[in-house]
Amino acid sequence: MKRWAAFFKLVRYPNLLYIALTQFLLQYCVVAPVLASVGEEPSLSVPQFVLLCLSTVFVAAAGYIINDYFDINIDIINKPDKMVLDKVISRRWAMAWHTILNMAGVSLGFIVAWKTGQIYLGFTQVICSLLLWFYSTSFKRQVLIGNVVISLLTALSVVVVGFYEKQIYHSFEAIMSPVGRKLIQIIGVYALFAFIISMVREIVKDLEDMIGDSKDGCQTIPIIWGVLPAKRLCNSLLLILMITVVMVEIRVGLFGWFMAIGYLVLFVQAPLVYVYLQLKKATTAADYHKVSSMVKLVMLTGILSMIFFKILL
């Protein structure tokens, strides 16, 4: 039982639930209602969508394992009490699980791609798997590159659902149709939200882990540019995110979606303002950890806003 608890901790099961929830809500609260408004159904059947979701989750889980594998020296300093690798799960078993989950994720991705007749889409998971490997072995220790890679992969976990929708992959005419444009706009906004909020969290985590990262030779933003420039970059990204949310509120206000606007103000904008203010006065690793947790909560509230498309469309 202890080993299974350690395994789920190793693969960051809350983050995997975030990924699964994001894809589920996007498929059944956004894609399905938008298509239903014109009398169509999603391209993926329920079993196919489940396989796609499992594929993404497995590849992400493998990425978390390999990240911890190469971060042992950093984690010994930054979070010795939270380590499970080498304490409960051996490195050999970690690599075995990494290989199994990667192979399962990529295989499931190709099965879904083959079922939809778009086999090339299967390479999406191959690319994700490779990026996660290079992130753990190299990109993470380079200034800005690692942050951008992880943020792009977070956004891709949103976009990948759209990749398998024929309104997007079938033809240029399908993309330019009213329903195609609507899907691209909605998915694009959520992908942008995912990218920016992930960038903020990655930089805040770098601020939190500065001591261990510096001793391991990592060249993260706060180490190379300094703490203040790193904070300024985070706050700039938060401002861009808040402006984006305001633009979304104006757009949905034209449709009379005032309940959605209220939700965004209370559960997305207000927490973003709180994060902005807390980050300005944060100085210790504990402070940055609290900010990081708050950013993660905003990720969840942002994801849950998809429910309004199901209710109001």
- State residue 174's pLDDT score: 67
Low-confidence ranges of the chain (pLDDT < 70): 1, 169-172, 174
pTM > 0.85: yes or no: yes
Residue among 151, 162, 157 nearest 187 (CA): 162
- Please give the Cα distance from 168 to 191 (Å, whole number): 15
- Please give the Cα distance from 277 to 207 (Å, whole number): 16
The secondary structure of residue 85, as a DSSP letter, is B
How many domains are there within the chain?
1
Q: CA 231, 232, 237, 238 torsion: positive or negative?
A: positive
128: containing domain: 2-312
Q: Which residue type sits at 40?
A: E
Q: What are phi and psi of 247, to 5 degrees?
A: -65, -40
- State residue 219's pLDDT score: 87
Report H helices in the chain: 2-10, 13-25, 32-36, 46-70, 72-78, 91-115, 123-137, 145-163, 166-169, 172-176, 178-208, 210-215, 221-224, 227-253, 258-264, 270-281, 285-304, 307-312
The two tokens of residue 30 are 């956004």
Residue among 120, 137, 127 nearest 105 (CA): 127
- Please give the Cα distance from 6 to 304 (Å, whole number): 28
- Please give the Cα distance from 305 to 264 (Å, whole number): 8
The two tokens of residue 245 are 């949310």
